[in-house]
Structure 1
Amino acid sequence: MTPQKQTASQTQLAGQKTEEPKIPVPIFNINALNPAETEAAVENAGVAKTQLSGGKAFVSAMFAGAFIGFGALFFLIVTSDPAMTWGPKRFVGGLAFCMGLVLVLCCGAELFTGNSLMASDIAAHKISWSALAKNWVIVWFGNLAGALLLVTLIGFAGTMGLNDGAVGGTAVATAASKITPDWFTLFFRGILCNILVCLAVRIGFSARSVGDKVLGILLPIAGFVAMGFEHCVANMFFLPVGLLAKTLGFGADAAGADAVTVQGILYNLSAATLGNIVGGAVFVALAYWFVNAKKDAQKAA
């Protein structure tokens, strides 16, 4: 190669070295999703839920029923302390109950009350009514199966006898307090409950980390428990474990203990379930879909 050609080649190579490929720098965003982004995440999750097989949805729902049951048991243990006054007892018990939804959102499980948010997918024409009904039925019964399994295990574990039987007495008293009110009172308590629960679930969708989820759901969930609202999945544990405690001889002197029966359980669950559907589907899912769909229409215009 002649000196002239070598010089030309070296110059060309030098020019090539100066043009280094640009590597895209990832953008990290620690801010929570805004309401419109959260709505999109909720709707995408709803579509994914309808794509689960029946068996997987049922087992996942059993996890949720057991998780909420663990939170409910935590509530019973904390609130069985007679030294605590009413207000602090409700607040601390509510914080203890939060463990259930923390497990659901962070570990992954199908919770009937949270799945009320799938109503936004119906409004957005992303899923069919039959797919929604199938999911809700499978998840409701899966939640019930998981809660009843946990109640059975607790019966063998002797947990109702803790604190010299105070836990069992609290279980009976709590169950009675959920059965003795009239049906419409329970229904409206169910509406109010799932407004807060579904808002907490939306906070979970908007979160960027596990820590965000946990901190975000604490107050809404502790609040609905302290306010005495009705959560059908929690009641799938509270009511059967109250009946179990009563059968074992605990809480005989609790007010309304005679109402803690299988019929009383079904009475409460019918009102709480329908109230939860209205609260979550209408007041949260459809309302947020409407707000964000309206924004999309304005952008298009």
Structure 2
Amino acid sequence: MSFKSPAEVTNSACSVAVAKCSLKFYQMLLLGILAGAYIGFGGFLYTVVTQDLSKYAGMGLSKLLGGASFTVGLMLVVIAGGELFTGNCLIPIGIMKGCVTPGAVAKNWIFVYFSNLIGSILLAYLIFYSGLASELVGANALKIASNKMALAFGPALFRGILCNWLVVLAVWMSMAAEDVASKIFSIFFPIMAFVASGFEHSIANMYFMTIGILLRHNEALIAQAGLTDQALNVLSLKGFMNNIIPVTLGNIVGGVLFVAVFYYLAYKDKLSD
């Protein structure tokens, strides 16, 4: 076959877990900042593509094309190189095999998560000061951020689970691919599916919500977005935390349980020593 079998990918995932847990602090910091920014680039492109598309193509096609545009974020992470918290929800497979410790995984998650946050915020500020988040794009950014921060805990949690099930599957399938073109296709469809479906990604939300908070005092954009006072009030640090906590928890469950645990249990008898 021109790609790795699921059993072979399971072995590769264990090797990747060892490599990721062996990264030095500065490597996790730099690669985590890059990954946060890369996902932010996907988020900004999504905002640009969907700013008025539903008016011409309908809501369904708008979501589909928006999801397709967002895939560039994970492509940059996987192919150019980056450390992404949601993708790293796969590495607990190394704990189950016994090749990495829970402490090493926790250290990677903590360093990478907050490095992703730095990269996401950095990208949001760069977009804000570039002036590109104006008119319809800025209004769309405000609506996206407000909708995310208004989500109740339960829906945010379950959308986070569904999201990272697909995101980690995209990473899993990209590990099966033997060439760059195959990796791109492996990433494209699961990521397009999660975005078009309306699932919630913690690192993407770091960008979306930060740019929304930065734009919340722009009266012209608020009027263009048609936000009510209630929708506007959620654009705050409290709204940020109300979303990011359940979505992050959901992302962990989705990636660890439905990919790492399930595939380890399915193929543990075929793992190399």
1:75 to 2:50 alignment:
no
Q: Any conservation in 1 of the 2:11–2:271 contact (CA below 8 Å)? A: no
- Report the Cα distance in structure 1 between the residues aligned to 2:236 and 2:268, rounded to whole angstroms: 46
CA contact (8 A) 2:151 2:243 kept: no
| 1:220 match | 190
Structure 1 CA distance for aligned equivalents of residues 75 and 116 of structure 2: 16
Cα deviation 1:165-209 (Å, max 9, x = unaligned): 011111111111112121011001000000000000001101011
Determine which of 150, 174, 189 is the counterpart of 2:123.
Answer: 150
Corresponding position: 1:174 with 2:144: yes
Shift of residue 31 of structure 1? Answer: 1.0
Q: Partner residue of 2:89?
A: 116
1:276 is aligned to: 251
Aligned with 1:59 (options 17, 30, 39): 30
- Does the CA-based 8 Å contact 1:71-1:100 persist in structure 2? yes
Deviations 1:70-105 (A, max 9, x none): 000000000002433100100000000000001001
Equivalences for residues 126-275 of structure 1 within 5 A: 126-161=99-134, 165-249=135-219, 250-252=221-223, 253-254=226-227, 256-275=231-250
Between stretches 175-184 and 191-200, larger displacement belongs to: 175-184
Give, in angstroms, the shift of residue 296 of structure 1. Answer: 5.3
Shift of 1:248: 3.0
- Aligned residue among 84, 87, 92 for 2:57: 84
Please tell me whether residue 32 in structure 1 is matched to residue 3 in structure 2: yes
What one-letter code is carried by the residue in structure 1 that aligns with 2:132? Answer: T
Q: Are residues 1:49 and 2:20 paired? A: yes
TM-score between both structures, scaled by the size of structure 2: 0.94
| Inter-partner Cα distance in structure 2 for 1:202 and 1:247 | 41
| 1:53, distance to aligned residue in structure 2 (A) | 0.7
Aligned length: 266
TM-score, length of structure 1 as denominator length: 0.86
Query: How many percent identity over aligned positions?
Result: 38
Structure showing greater relative contact order (alpha-carbon pairs closer than 8 Å, 6 or more residues apart)? 2
Alignment match, 1:285: 260
How many angstroms does 1:260 deviate by? 1.3
Contact preservation (8 Å) 1:117, 1:280: yes
Structure 2 counterpart of 1:245, which letter? L
Q: Distance in 2 between matches of 1:160 and 1:84?
A: 22
Which structure 1 residue ranges, 5 or more long, are not aligned? 1-29
Does the 8 Å CA contact 2:47/2:140 hold for their aligned counterparts? yes
| CA RMSD across the alignment | 1.5
- The superposition leaves residues 103-141 of structure 1 with CA deviations (integer Å, 9 ceiling, x where unpaired) of 001101000000000110111111111101100000000
> Counterpart amino acid of 2:227?
A
Instruction: Sort the Cα spacing of 1:296 and 1:149 in 2 relative to 1 into closer, same or farther, 3 A.
Output: closer
* Matched letter for residue 267 of structure 1: N
How far did 1:41 drift?
1.0
